[in-house]
């Protein structure tokens, strides 16, 4: 009886873990039964764990927990509409679109509803064909380019007309450019679907870039128009440097135009820097001979401040280093010896330390060469003063 009791009092459980023994005796006396509530909770938890393992192959409780297996996120291509257009759809719709383009370019109202125009363009752009060279989007882009090409060429005769007044000519060019920007923006909005579908995959210019390129090619790369624009800008800047009042906003807008058309560095900056070099070279040579040292220093400081103001108002910041260097070189570096020889001792003897401080500030701008010369001037001044004082003591 005791053997049967001993046999019944031990329970053999099979373990799932591969490292455990297949059968382990668990004594009923050593392991008291848990409360019923705890068993229920444990059963629920085990079932949830099992469901979780079934749901995620790696056995993790969340799909966002990283595992040893690398997973790839695959985004399928957006499908183009399967709409099949009639063979003559483009031929029927293009006159409406061309009419709407003409209305935008001429500043009038299109007779066709804007929503209908968007819908037609969307149909043309979301229809796929095997031959992309004759697809509706390709035809639409090519016809749009022809309209823009013809329109922008109409600007040229106006800008080639003789114009004696520089301001009037630049204002006309600025007006044409501003109007072109407004029209370009409206056209881009109308053909936004073309920009976001065909243009992205056909390796062609966006509608905005196309408009800019045509304006650059026909207008600003016309030698006569370009020369008048650049020379007109340089003339206004020269007038301002002489103390005259000019239209800074006009210059700013046209320089912005050159930057947007990628012509600033090639067409404007070189002649601008050249004219600046000539101006300050001649001015430095003249003023160092005619002005007192303190007055010359004030003039140099004023010129530097003026050029900084131009950089703030209309000259592009990419020109700053070269522009300031030209002023410093022609008004300070080339005349260091003259400035010190002509007026340094006088300024120190008369206790005009504001001017001496200005010398230091200006020389410091040009680097070590200026500081070394100033240091040498101080040393020579001290030597001379000591000699003079010694002679004075001997004579007394």
Q: What is the CATH number of the domain that holds 187?
A: 1.20.1310.10
Q: How far apart are CA 199 and CA 193, in angstroms?
A: 9
pLDDT digits (tens, 9 = 90+) for 328-373: 999 999 999 999 988 888 888 888 989 999 999 999 999 888 889 8
What is the model's pLDDT at position 395?
63
Residue 334: predicted pLDDT: 95
Give the residue numbers spanning the domain of 138.
89-302
Q: Do residues 271 and 328 make contact, with C-beta atoms less than 8 angstroms apart?
A: no
pLDDT of residue 31: 44
> Is 318 part of a structural domain of the chain?
no
278 and 156 belong to one structural domain: yes
Same domain, 213 and 151: yes
Q: Is residue 329 part of a domain?
A: no
134 and 278 together in one domain: yes
Angstrom distance (rounded) from CA 365 to CA 250: 32
Burial label, 254 (beta-carbon count in 10 A; 0-12, 13-18, 19+): buried
What are the b/e assignments for 135-169, b being 16+ CB within 10 Å?
Answer: bbbbebbeebbebbeebbeebeeebeeebeebeeb
Contacts of 258 (CB under 8 A, 6+ apart): 220, 229, 264, 267, 268
Q: Are residues 212 and 260 in the same domain?
A: yes
Cβ(301)–Cβ(359) under 8 Å? Answer: no
- pLDDT tens, position by position, 109-131: 888 889 999 999 998 888 655 44
Q: Which of 277, 302, 327 is the last residue of a domain?
A: 302
One domain, residues 108 and 32:
no
pTM of the model: 0.74
Q: Which is nearest to 338 in space by CA: 300, 305, 309? A: 300
Q: What is the pLDDT of residue 343?
A: 85
pLDDT beneath 50: ranges in the chain: 1-40, 43-45, 48-67, 72-73, 75-78, 80, 130-132
What is the average pLDDT score of the chain? Answer: 82
pLDDT at residue 50, rounded to an integer = 47
Looking at the 3D structure of the chain, how many domains does it have?
2
Q: Which of 276, 302, 328 is the last residue of a domain?
A: 302
109 within 8 A of 94, measured Cβ to Cβ: no
Residue 27 has φ and ψ, to the nearest 5°, of -75, 130
| 33 and 102 inside one domain | no
């Amino acid at each position: 009886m005791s053997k049967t009791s001993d046999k019944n009092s031990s329970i053999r459980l099979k373990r799932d873990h591969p490292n455990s023994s297949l059968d382990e005796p668990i004594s009923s006396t050593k392991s008291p039964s848990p409360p019923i509530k705890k068993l229920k909770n444990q059963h629920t938890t085990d079932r949830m764990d099992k469901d979780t393992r079934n749901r995620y192959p790696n056995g993790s409780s969340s799909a966002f927990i990283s595992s040893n297996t690398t997973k790839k996120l695959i985004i399928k291509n957006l499908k183009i509409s399967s709409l099949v257009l009639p063979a003559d759809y483009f031929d029927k719709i293009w006159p409406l679109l061309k009419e709407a383009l003409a209305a935008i370019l001429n500043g009038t109202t299109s007779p066709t509803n804007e929503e209908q125009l968007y819908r037609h363009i969307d149909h043309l752009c979301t229809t796929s064909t095997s031959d992309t060279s004759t697809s509706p989007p390709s035809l639409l882009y090519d016809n749009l380019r022809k309209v823009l090409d013809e329109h922008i060429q109409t600007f040229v005769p106006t800008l080639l007309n003789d114009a004696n007044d520089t301001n009037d000519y630049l204002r006309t060019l600025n007006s044409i450019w501003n109007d072109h920007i407004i029209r370009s923006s409206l056209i881009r909005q109308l053909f936004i679907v073309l920009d976001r579908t065909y243009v992205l995959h056909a390796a062609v210019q966006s509608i905005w870039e196309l408009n800019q390129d045509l304006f650059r090619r026909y207008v600003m790369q016309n030698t006569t128009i370009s020369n008048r624009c650049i020379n007109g800008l340089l003339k206004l800047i020269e007038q301002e440097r002489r103390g005259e009042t000019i239209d800074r906003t006009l210059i700013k807008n046209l320089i912005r135009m050159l930057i947007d058309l990628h012509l600033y560095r090639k067409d404007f900056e070189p002649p601008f820097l050249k004219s600046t070099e000539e101006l300050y070279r001649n001015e430095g040579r003249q003023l160092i001979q005619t002005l007192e040292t303190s007055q010359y220093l004030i003039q140099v400081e004023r010129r530097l401040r003026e050029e900084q103001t131009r950089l703030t108002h209309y000259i592009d910041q990419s020109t700053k280093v070269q522009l300031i260097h030209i002023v410093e070189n022609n008004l300070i570096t080339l005349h260091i010896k003259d400035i010190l020889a002509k007026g340094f001792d006088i300024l120190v003897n008369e206790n005009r330390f504001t001017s001496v401080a200005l010398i230091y500030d200006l020389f410091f701008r040009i680097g070590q060469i200026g500081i070394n010369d100033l240091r040498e001037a101080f040393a020579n001044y001290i030597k001379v003063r000591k000699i003079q004082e010694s002679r004075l003591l001997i004579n007394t």
